[in-house]
Amino acid sequence: MTLISLDHLRRHAAARTLFAPTTLGRAIDRLGFVQADPIRAPARAQDLTLRHRVSNYLAGDLERRYEKLAIEEDCLVNYGFLPRAHVALMHPRVARRAWDAATRQRAQEVLAFVRERGATHPREVLAEFAHHGRIKGYWGGTLNASTQLLDGMHYRGLLRVARREAGTRVYEAVEREPADDSPTGRRARADALLALIIAKYAPLPSASLGYLASLLGYGAPQLREDTRAALARARATLPSAEVDGVRWFWPEGESPASKRWATAIERDAGRVRLLAPFDPIVWDRRRFELLWDWAYKFEAYTPAPQRKLGYYALPLLRGEQVLGWANVDAKNGGLGVELGSPQGRPPRDAAFRRELEAEVERLREFLGRAELPTR
């Protein structure tokens, strides 16, 4: 038996998720979940994630093609896009915070309105029901009462996002099949949800596996106890190895030591990729630091004087190594790319420069930008 090393784990982490580019629908099916984020620096996280995995992908294609795909905007470990088959595992979702009688009544009135009207913009709900009052949000501050109600209805599975208009969710009513709520059915759904996130984020250190399982309480709070039991089963049955004192897990049928991962890395030897802050390779910060021996931080919400990497630093992957990061700045129709490295200076060899320029050109085409100076 081959002993698993950190080199094996790095290759496994990079190669298994950077599959050959395919169609948009197939890529989402393969990923299982694509995290969404509204910040554009230089593009939204979902677009930056998909551009490496979808043939000829352009920024905004997910939103443009959304209505024709068998996907939904919904929650898993956070908010994003999922195949409808995965969404069905979490519904009917029972929110942790129950509605009072008045809110339930308003929700039923809005649901009847949307059912009759079809795809409905929030402003149409506002116009119909005159929900102009503002109420305290769950985390302080104020939120528009109608927007909050629509969000809650979406979360509970009464509505789905039909499309977006200028970034705003347009909703339609949805009828969901009743879930098998027997002990066997709940167990099957919890196992499937845990398998989904393991397949997306593996190989996983033990602590990260537990953390991800706990986050399923966001997508399926009614299955919290079932998910804990699924986690115990996974830890007892999944293939695993201890590397430098840390227990790592990965899906059945895979091995980080397999030559397939090394072959995949060698096929793209030297290729440079700029990754989204929430790319599967990057998302688990604990795993990231174990594999690459430096801490990546998402600093968009960090006060500017305290930032070390930048507002929206894109991790820079070369082969199976994350060597540093890049900040991409849009100005006057063009883009500037500024590199950073935990060693203080990114590579400067000729091969790296060629590969970086090729990635910059791919980024330019993806964004439809005319100029990308690199410094």
Note whether 32 and 83 are within 8 A (CB). Answer: yes
pLDDT band of residue 244 (cuts 50, 70, 90) is very high
Output the pLDDT for position 130.
63
Long-range Cβ contacts of 261-269 (<8 Å, 24+ apart): 261/8, 261/11, 261/12, 261/14, 261/15, 261/16, 262/11, 262/15, 264/11, 264/15, 264/18, 265/11, 265/14, 265/15, 265/319, 265/320, 268/18, 268/319, 269/319
Provide the 8-state DSSP code for 247: E
When divided into structural domains, the chain yields a total of 2
Q: Is residue 126 part of a domain?
A: yes
Q: Is residue 56 part of a domain?
A: no
Tens of pLDDT along 32-84?
999 999 999 999 999 999 999 999 999 999 999 999 999 999 999 999 999 99
Q: Is residue 221 part of a domain?
A: no
Output the pLDDT for position 1.
61
pLDDT above 70 for 372? no
Tens of pLDDT along 223-239?
999 999 999 999 999 99
Cα distance between residue 324 and residue 314, in whole Å = 8
pLDDT above 90 for 240? yes
Tens of pLDDT along 197-225?
999 999 999 999 999 999 999 999 999 99
- Give the up-direction half-sphere exposure of residue 13: CA atoms within 13 A in the CB hemisphere: 30
Output the pLDDT for position 335.
74
Helix-, strand-, coil-residue percentages of the chain, each rounded to 5 = 45, 20, 40
Q: Is residue 66 part of a domain?
A: no
pLDDT above 80 for 135? no
Q: Is residue 38 part of a domain?
A: no
Q: Is residue 13 part of a domain?
A: no
Q: Is residue 8 part of a domain?
A: no
Cα distance between residue 154 and residue 87, in whole Å = 12
Q: Could you tell me which of 173, 171, 166 has the C-alpha nearest to residue 147?
A: 171
pLDDT above 70 for 131? no
Cα distance between residue 286 and residue 205, in whole Å = 8
Output the pLDDT for position 348.
81
Work out the average pLDDT over 117-136: 75
Q: Is residue 110 part of a domain?
A: yes
pLDDT band of residue 141 (cuts 50, 70, 90) is very low
pLDDT above 90 for 344? no
Output the pLDDT for position 127.
80
Note whether 198 and 251 are within 8 A (CB). Answer: yes
Residue 252, judged by CB atoms within 10 A of its CB (0-12, 13-18, 19+), counts as: exposed
Q: Which two tokens stand for residue 129?
A: 């029901």
The CA-atom distances, in angstroms, between 225 and each of 109, 217, 244 are 33, 9, 31
The residue among 154, 173, 192 that closes a domain is 173
Cα distance between residue 100 and residue 106, in whole Å = 10
Work out the average pLDDT over 93-98: 92
The residue among 173, 193, 213 that closes a domain is 173
Cα distance between residue 294 and residue 372, in whole Å = 28
Tens of pLDDT along 304-327?
999 999 999 999 999 999 999 999
For residue 114, the domain's CATH number is 1.10.10
Output the pLDDT for position 188.
98
Cα distance between residue 307 and residue 300, in whole Å = 9
Tens of pLDDT along 323-333?
999 999 877 66
Q: Please report how the helices 259-267 and 6-15 are oriented relative to each other, as an axis angle in degrees rounded to 10.
A: 60
pLDDT above 80 for 289? yes
The residue among 158, 173, 188 that closes a domain is 173
pTM over 0.85, yes/no: yes
- Give the up-direction half-sphere exposure of residue 108: CA atoms within 13 A in the CB hemisphere: 7
Query: Collapsing DSSP states into helix, strand and coil, what is residue 15?
Result: helix
Output the pLDDT for position 148.
87
Domain of residue 301 covers 263-367
